Structure 1
Amino acid sequence: MTLIRATESDFERLAEFYRRTVSETKDMEIYARWIYGLHPTDGMIHGHIKCGNMFFLSELDGKIASAVAAVPCQGMEYHDVPWKLNLADDEVSVVHILCVAPELQKKGIAARTMRRVIEMSRESEKKAVRLDALKCNSPARRLYESLGFSQVAERNWHTENAGWTDFVLYELEL
């Protein structure tokens, strides 16, 4: 399986992948709290594709195994975080909407996807990869910590799908 940069022609497949994964993932309402149309949205996926930041792993049969947005800079929401590394926005990659097909969860696909994002970030000469995860999303947090990400801070942010909720922010120095 190779991480593939999504194009506009992949939009329908990716949107259907996210819709299916959100509806079929066990405990989605407990851990990630995604509600398709609120998070993630068609616009979010389109935007990441348009900017060249949307990627997916494809299985041998052509089905999508995982998808992720790897954005080559951080946004304003990360400016007030006490990161370990003092970096400019464009020295950082930020991970969003990492998702694994329900039938492939707990098989190392998320770790493989993240390792490739980390590798791509290094190849792009980024100095860190950053991300946020819901504090209650213990499976995702275990994954990030197993890959060497350090917990840097917590924030209480408002999202359309979860309301006011606690997030943990992570950083991996490259």
Structure 2
Amino acid sequence: MLEVRTARADEIGAVVEFYTRMIDEMRGTDFDVRWRHGEHPSEGFLRASVEAGEVLVGVLGADDPDAPAAVGASRLACALVMNGETDPGYEQGAWQVEAPPQDVAVLHVVATLPAFHGRGFARQLVNASADVARASGKKAVRLDTFAANLRGRRLYESCGFVCVGECPRFYPGIDPTLPAALYERVL
């Protein structure tokens, strides 16, 4: 069973290890996120995000038969960062809700280890992020994904997100030629 919760301060190492493993396991597959170790997401970004209480993790229970073999001692199956920081290009979105930045939550580095694809963990994590945002008084949750990430786009749409536009040349730190699809879920 998956428990979605805020990462604890003593889990910084586990969060960094999770993203390192996810990048390695996704590289060269149809779901390659094209993130780079030490750059995106950087250890500093992850550390600061955990310390600020901005990382949600999906943790497998000790009784889950996949936990020990699939993710080691940390048992993290999925994770994301949720804060109020937008990337350049967000101003191009035809957002459904006009809201100042402090009234919007933005999801970053949404990821699930490949061993857990298809089990609904990402859906649980994304829906939990909306619940957390709603409880903290946010009006909407926003995110971006590669425009060609059809699997991710279907996930976000199934969680109530609406595509509000696409931005060309959106990911300069990863691949400047990749366009992004911008998504919003009104709370």
Q: Report if TM-score (shorter chain) is over 0.5.
A: yes
Structure 2, unaligned runs of 5 or more:
63-73
> SS of 2:171's equivalent?
strand
What is the correspondence of 1:52-67 to structure 2 with a 5 Å cutoff? 52-61=53-62, 63-67=75-79
Aligned to 1:40: 41
Partner of 2:80: 68
Fraction of identical pairs, as percent: 27
- Greater shift, 32-41 or 73-82, is seen at 73-82
Partners of 1:75 and 1:59 lie apart in 2 by 30
Unaligned 5+ runs, structure 1:
none
Q: Is the 8 A contact 1:31 1:138 kept in 2?
A: no
Residue in structure 1 matched with residue 182 of structure 2 by the alignment: 169
The alpha-carbon distance between structure 1 residues 161 and 119, as it changes in their structure 2 partners (threshold 3 A), is same
| Counterpart amino acid of residue 33 in structure 2 | A
Between 135-144 and 160-169, the greater mean CA deviation after superposition: 160-169
Distance in 2, matches of 1:43 and 1:108, equals 29
CA distance in 2, matches of 1:89, 1:163: 25
Secondary structure of 1:103's counterpart equals helix
Once the two structures are superposed, the pairs formed by residues 73-112 of structure 1 within 5 Å of their partners are: 73-75=84-86, 77=88, 78-112=90-124
Question: 8 Å contact 1:15–1:42 — kept in the other structure?
Answer: yes
Which segment is superposed worse, 124-133 or 22-31? 22-31
CA–CA distance in structure 2, aligned partners of residues 74 and 80 of structure 1: 15
What is the CA-CA distance between 1:37 and the residue it aligns to?
2.1
- AA aligned opposite 1:120: V
- After TM superposition, give the deviation of residue 29 of structure 1 in Å: 6.5
CA distance in 2, matches of 1:99, 1:5: 15
The CA distance in 1 between the partners of 2:96 and 2:85, in whole Å, is: 15
Q: Give 3-state SS (helix, strand or coil) of 2:36's partner.
A: coil
Work out the number of aligned pairs and report it: 173
Q: TM-score if structure 2 supplies the norm length?
A: 0.84
Whether contact under 8 Å (2:61, 2:75) holds in the other structure is: yes
Report the TM-score when normalising by structure 1: 0.90
Q: After alignment, is 9-18 or 158-167 more displaced? A: 158-167
